[in-house]
Structure 1
Amino acid sequence: MITIDEFPGRTINVDGKDFLYFGGTSYLGLQTDLDFQELFIKNIKKYGTSYSASRKSNIRISIFDKTESYLSNLVGSEGCITMSSGYLAGQLICDYFSCEDYQLYYAPNTHSALFRGQQYIYQTWQQLEKDVLKNRDKKHVIFLDSIDFNGNNFPDYKPLQKLPLEDVILIIDDSHGIGITGSNGGGSLKYLKSLKPKELLVTCSLGKGFGIQAGAIFGSETMIDNLKETQFFGGSSPATPSALATLIDAHSIYSEKRALLNRNIALFLTHFSNPLSFSMSKGHPTFSFKNEQMAALLEENGILVTNFRYPTEDDELMSRIVLSSSHTKEDILKLSKILNTLVI
């Protein structure tokens, strides 16, 4: 474990030694971007540093409705609600469907934000498909992550196309996709709608692709209205208004950063000689690996990557290289050169 005193950018200084950092989830490098910070500071001065009142309060701030409308249009959904985090957004949906009326199925590698208690996670899509087809009389709810870091779901979601989706309520965690994938960063919802599930809900963190501390849920107007009427939503503190305002104000910055990220991904794939030795999703800046020695070898060569057990110490090691918009051409070329000497 390495402890640092500031947010990690493209480099990290550890005990006086500089490392290139290819880890984390700041895909667009926004947290350390000066223009983005200026917008955030401006909005803090207007909206304050936090807002802990219920959304059901008799005094309401208009930025919530404005941002939710903006996000709905961006993603392509009828409705949207924001929460204080992506984890809380996932828990709201899980809480809503955790009753005897529904049969819940958790696809391989589903994030724990969608769990309530000890859920059974399928190890293979084949077994999940078999159980869904066997229990056609149930109200099926299938949970999965858009980016599972094994390349199984995004962008084509082929495992879903084998299921009777007309009978399925589909819950997608798009935390690692929204903001960087899809048209203008709108994520996967538009494509998933084309698969015509019985009901579609997309939940996400806005901290990865949009750089703000907040979460969101997208779905039909009826479903979003139902979620707004729950005790879970009414009793929760909302996202910080200054963060939501920044999301709207920074639209041009997001576009510029996505273009930079796409160029960095293309540059990496051009110069790295063996990308198929990693698990990846087309158009996504993460490259996962299971060779436990790889992270140590990269560190010896001045590169730090994501490498820890998640979400608990009892879980598998999560190791991946993460490109971001903040990396320079020289950074990408150095990474590629080192990997070409390490990967057989």
Structure 2
Amino acid sequence: MRTFNWAILGPGRIARKFAEDLAHVPQARLHAVASRSLAKAEAFAAEFGAPHAVGSYEELLAVPGIDAVYVATPHSEHHAHALLCLRGGLPVLCEKAFAQNAGQAQEMVRVAQEQGVFLMEAFWTRFFPAVAQALELVQSGVIGEVKHLVADFGFAAPYPYEPEGRLFSPALAGGSLLDIGVYPLFISQLFLGPPAAVRAVSTPTGTGVDLSCAMALAYASGATATLFSTIAATTDNRCVLYGTKGQLQLLGRFHAPTGVRVQLLGAAEAQEYPALTAGGGYHYEAAHVQQCLAQGLRESPLLPLAFSLGLMELLDAVRREIGLRYPGE
């Protein structure tokens, strides 16, 4: 098989993890790096052995031999940068949150379909072996009918807070919701589908974005979900599904799980299903994109564009509940 040439648009912290994990993907290599700073692009490219580095995002379109672009810029820029690549005919893996709002995401999908170019949200959690295992167990009915799901994700942002930083700037679509609140919402949608009702409250920061966000969701099935995100404190980062026959927990940090634990009602001991992992976990989504493109697909069967659009609509619904709007909306 020939080498698969990845390009990175926006060589920041997450992009570094992605580049490191390409070492665990057969035939993958970092081929090009694009940054607004040529010096930064060149340093990143040199570190990971990429032969091409450019000092603007537009210049990336002229680099020959790119098979796919990983867009890893701030949330506020995903829409523009994904469209740039899609209109240039380059397949795109766009970091979560997919866009700033559902309207932007819809345009991204429309352009990808018009251009006949692959597009997928880089929601790495979806591709962990433990998530596939958990889905299989839940769908098999081992814990019965799921009645409730709880999930939280929190970390303590460095203090004093940086008003112009990506976590707190409204212009960069900051706040806990789009950065990490998207994970509990993602996992709830994956296991329970779209909700029939959404309620949310938040604690705002001095810049107006959410410091913490608590969400309650109800589903037509009769299930409910309690979700929470915060950038003010470190939480357990756990997810548990409660069913009529028992409960299932994603082990470790639920957004990057290491296995599954099932505790059935009346059972003396829980059953654990460890899932071996290599690398940091970003290689799973990269390998999946390569497989999709090798098969000539224009979207992922595991993370279809309709799912990402639904998730963006859910994020918009939560923001309406807490009264959070970003500049230009």
TM > 0.5 between the two? Answer: no
Write 1 or 2 for the structure with the bigger share of strand. 2
TM-score (norm 2): 0.30
TM-score (norm 1): 0.29
